[in-house]
Chains A and B, each alone.
Chain A
């Protein structure tokens, strides 16, 4: 079927609309959201196979010829992002059943989650720069709803900041697209890439590249622009936080990856060096934050910032190994961040607080949770058989191949700091003297433990089965390294 790239977008959209007709029917809401998410994952897996076998899938809305209509492009990069996001959304919905509270569930929580998935999947799939903006707004609108839903005082305060920052960055996005349009006269990404390389990227286009870096950097939280993230993400409840932490910044990362590998490849010595310095600075900032805080939620939140820096480092080195490492690392990071937020959510549920200094001795009563957390923590740091290892190894190798030795070694050292920051939660919350715990329902505990455990096992499988995934990842890195493949697929298809 020729419309296959649209399926992971239309399915959650249709289910979100259906759920809006009966917001108070709890069973209908839960079942509808779950079925919608499962179908989205199934469609994504099917599309992954299709892209793997038949190559890049292209569809242009309304059967218009290519540079004139809006094109949706599913190459291996975008479908890997789409599949990962859909899986995380499925687990978040499952995890939400027992954690988010009936009041929120009856007030358009699940339509919000599904609409955010629509925006995220759309942003990953689109082949049109203005359509990318529209999908950014779709996912941001849904995220505003999710961050404020429930109406606690802290949520109001933090979502004001979040909305202000995003409104400013969206306005900047429009201005940047306007500048790009006035220079190249087209909005289709493949066409832009073609025209930028035709005019050999003069200075004005390099300036636009930096503007794009600012715009997407605000969304992705890179070094000087990450200031909004730690406080904004501490407002919403845990399932929403997991969704934000795993998906939202990665959309910015994807947009930077796409623009810096497809459009702006003419002046790598400048643009990618800037990106390199910023990514290293992002890692430094994230590391400082992760070591400084004693709030379990915030420790993981600062780890998001570190991961953004690590992924963009691979894009900045811009060689096959580095890009392959980025692809491996980004999928791992999305999965493991969601799993870690789920685990932290369980810890907060059991202890009734987020302050690490007041916790202790959970290992005796919850050994399975402790071991699960330890696996996830080792996986995040990149201990060999687990999922974080291969991505980071390739990234460092890519850095050395690009003769960036100091930054490569810094990536390795940052792993130690990441390990230290997450193992601190293990040491303080699970070891030591047992503390008085508030009463906890055992059934609820197990009902949120199961999706978390499955997600952690999935990351373990991702690490152990890295060999089986290699052909997919190589295909993705190949498209990133050769923009001509993308351009030919889009322009030659029709």
Chain B
């Protein structure tokens, strides 16, 4: 029997974008209010999981054509890279730097290298969570 889940699909199409927006908000809010890379990554992953629940695996794979294991590896690489960057400047490992920049539309904003570290954390979380979920979902054959 084929279930007609048109309501679910329509709702998810909108909700996924709201969730992704929230994830990006949480990611950037992390320095001054609750949020950060870990929770941002989890929320992004939850949006992807919602897609997997609603549509079938092949369709989502076509829509998001990335290997999540490599996303996780890239995230760890980024986090270690920001730590190692400070070594190149001759200071202790993981020393962070921040500077105020004038960005055209947003005005005066402080940008720090800790954001790159958090981006690494977020990518790792997304990669790991999606790898776990996708491999469990695909693993029923054997």
Contact = CB atoms under 8 A, between A and B. Distances in A.
Nearest to B73: A20
A62 B70 contact: no
Interface stretch (B18-26, B43-51, B90-98, B102-110): B90-98
Interface in A1-46: 1-3, 6, 10, 13-14, 17, 20-21, 23
Interface string B56-83: 0000000000000110110011001001
A20 B95 contact: no
Contact of A17 (B77, B83, B92, B94): B77
B80 to A, nearest CB: 6
A60 interface: yes
A17 B84 contact: no
B80 A10 contact: yes
B80 A14 contact: yes
B15 interface: no
B87 interface: yes
B contact face: mostly helix, strand, loop, or mixed: helix
A88 to B, nearest CB: 24
Contacts, number: 42
A62 B95 contact: yes
Contacts of B87: 1, 3, 6
Given A10-B84, A17-B80, A3 B92 contact: yes
A61 interface: yes
A2 B73 CA distance: 28
B92 A21 contact: no
B94 A61 contact: yes
Contact of A21 (B73, B80, B84, B93): B73
A62 B94 contact: yes
A60 B92 contact: yes
A13 B92 contact: no
Contacts of B84: 10, 14
Given A3-B87, A10-B84, A17 B93 contact: no
A149 interface: no
A310 interface: no
A51 to B, nearest CB: 18
A contact face: mostly helix, strand, loop, or mixed: helix
A20 B67 CA distance: 12
A21 B77 CA distance: 10
B92 A63 contact: yes
A61 B92 contact: yes
A59 interface: yes
Nearest to B79: A17
Contact of A2 (B72, B80, B92): B92
A1 B96 CA distance: 18
B81 to A, nearest CB: 9
A346 B128 CA distance: 37
Q: Which of B70, B73, B92 has the most CB of A within 10 A?
A: B92
Contacts of B72: 20
A20 B70 CA distance: 7
Interface in A82-96: none
Contacts of B76: 17, 20
A61 B96 CA distance: 10
Contacts of B93: 3, 6, 10, 59, 61-62
Contacts of A62: 92-96
Nearest to A108: B69
A7 to B, nearest CB: 10
Contacts of A63: 91-92, 95
A21 B94 contact: no
Contacts of B91: 63
A59 B84 CA distance: 14
Nearest to B92: A63
Contacts of A10: 80, 83-84, 93
A135 B90 CA distance: 25
A110 to B, nearest CB: 13
Given A17-B80, A21-B70, A21-B73, 4 more contacts: A1-B87, A14-B84, A61-B92, A62-B96
5 contacts: A3-B87, A14-B84, A21-B70, A23-B69, A62-B93
What 5 A-B pairs come out closest when comparing CB atoms?
Answer: A20-B73, A61-B94, A63-B92, A63-B95, A62-B94
Interface of B: 69-70, 72-73, 76-77, 80, 83-84, 87, 90-96
